[in-house]
A and B are shown apart, each in its own frame.
Chain A
Amino acid sequence: MSTVTLPVINPAFMQRYNFYEHLERHQLQLHPASIETLQVNITKMCNQACRHCHVDASPKRTEAMDKPTIERCLEILSAHEMIKTLDITGGAPELNPHFEFFVTETATLKKKIMVRHNLTITIDGHPVTKDSKNHLPEFFARNRVEVVSSLPYYEEYFTDKQRGRGVFEKSIEALRRLNALGYGADDSGLVLNLVYNPVGTYLPASQAGLEADYKKHLKEKFGIVFNHLFTITNMPIHRFKDDLERNGKYDEYMTRLINAFNPVAAQGVMCRSLLSVGYDGKIYDCDFNQMLDLQVENHQPLTVWNFNMDFLMKRNIIFGAHCFGCTAGGGSSCGGATA
């Protein structure tokens, strides 16, 4: 019970933010186990500007992956059988003008395609050009895309608090459209997974328990079905970290994460089986390292243009204080809990 085991904050406390020391104390060595997933962040533009977004995405961002870099990612996917999954993220990845090219070309490679789809983009359309994105559910279904969508809570109040007013209502409408095509139904083969993250400075509840709650409430209240819920811990970086610091809660949150350090969750961290690619082709251990500009280096910074699988499998993963977010409690990854 964390409330009675919180340590006193003192000068020695700062050392507790050292993730490497923590690994050593638990005799853990976290090396790459595989590269099963290539997660590619193709734009920082988004129709939303969520309170906890670690990408600091918003309609004002303009960074986007160009077509040659996308084509290079396709070459890497094609050349390496070990990479089973393409995980496309952003921002709202659908706002990259080459998004649909990327999906359709990957579909021909027989790789699993996951898209981090924020739901509201279908309703809102492009925030700058105002182009409609109404066709997205059909496009996803046609290409057998696994849709992964953030819905911070099964009630409006927490969802809108985190993602902006009106987001819950639009998300429900977008989920209905996906369900109408078979997404989320057990026998359809069209996978729809939802993502939960806490609205405040606390850890997620158990994934299985929350999934059951989400399924019950969304079905009973809105007739919505989905496959699985991923619980994700808020990472203490960028917009969320700024929010914590503004409210004088950064140390308290870090303490909560560190007290909940789980060696089993640590062994399952996603950086052991995933690579993250930035919009400019730079390679990172994960999306969070990407946002902190902690690029993988092999004598020189690594990009998709000097991609070297042998080196990547032997690399030392770069860890930082934010990694305590992935190892707390049930663990956290882009695929949910890890323990």
Chain B
Amino acid sequence: MNYYESNDLKRFAEVGKFRKELMDMFFTYYNKVTGEDGALTKREKSLIGLAVAHAKQCPYCIDAYTTQCLETGASPDQMTEAIHVTAALEAGMTLVHGVQMLNNLEKEGA
């Protein structure tokens, strides 16, 4: 028994077992946002989804959005670049906090 079972993704809709109307609203919103071309194409949305899945480290979303990217025609090169964007932003977010560190160091006379 693991905390993450890949087959559990198929049970996602069961979260609507209680207060079903809330999950229905979520699915309608989710499908509208991710499942249609808009100002962004479905392929672009899929690449964003893949990047976010990695940032949040959600195994369900990584599985789902790897498939979604392939089904919308994204190439492995594009998918890899997308997760490098995630990684670069996360590195940047770590490093920009260095300014906070510098502020503290400067108060100490560094």
Contact = CB atoms under 8 A, between A and B. Distances in A.
Q: Do A and B come from one complex?
A: yes
Interface of A: 1-9, 155, 157, 198, 200, 202-206, 209-210, 213, 255
B72 A205 contact: yes
Given A3-B67, A8-B13, A9-B10, A205 B73 contact: yes
Q: Which of A2, A3, A213, A255 has the largest count of B CB atoms less than 10 A from its CB?
A: A3
Contacts of B31: 1, 4-5
> Which applies to chain B's interface (DSSP): helix, strand, loop or mixed?
helix
Interface of B: 9-14, 27, 30-31, 34-35, 43, 64, 67-68, 70-73, 75-76
Given A6-B13, A210-B73, 18 more contacts: A1-B31, A1-B34, A2-B68, A3-B64, A4-B30, A5-B13, A5-B31, A8-B14, A155-B76, A157-B76, A198-B70, A202-B70, A205-B72, A206-B73, A209-B43, A209-B72, A209-B73, A213-B73
Contacts of A203: 71
Given A205-B71, A209-B43, A6 B30 contact: no
Which of B31, B43, B73 has the most C-beta atoms of chain A within 10 angstroms of its own C-beta?
B73
Contact of A155 (B10, B11, B68, B75): B75
Most B CB within 10 A of own CB, among A1, A155, A202, A205:
A1
A209 B72 CA distance: 8
B83 to A, nearest CB: 18
Most buried by B among A157, A204, A205, A210: A205
Contacts of B27: 4-5
B75 A213 contact: yes
A205 B75 CA distance: 11
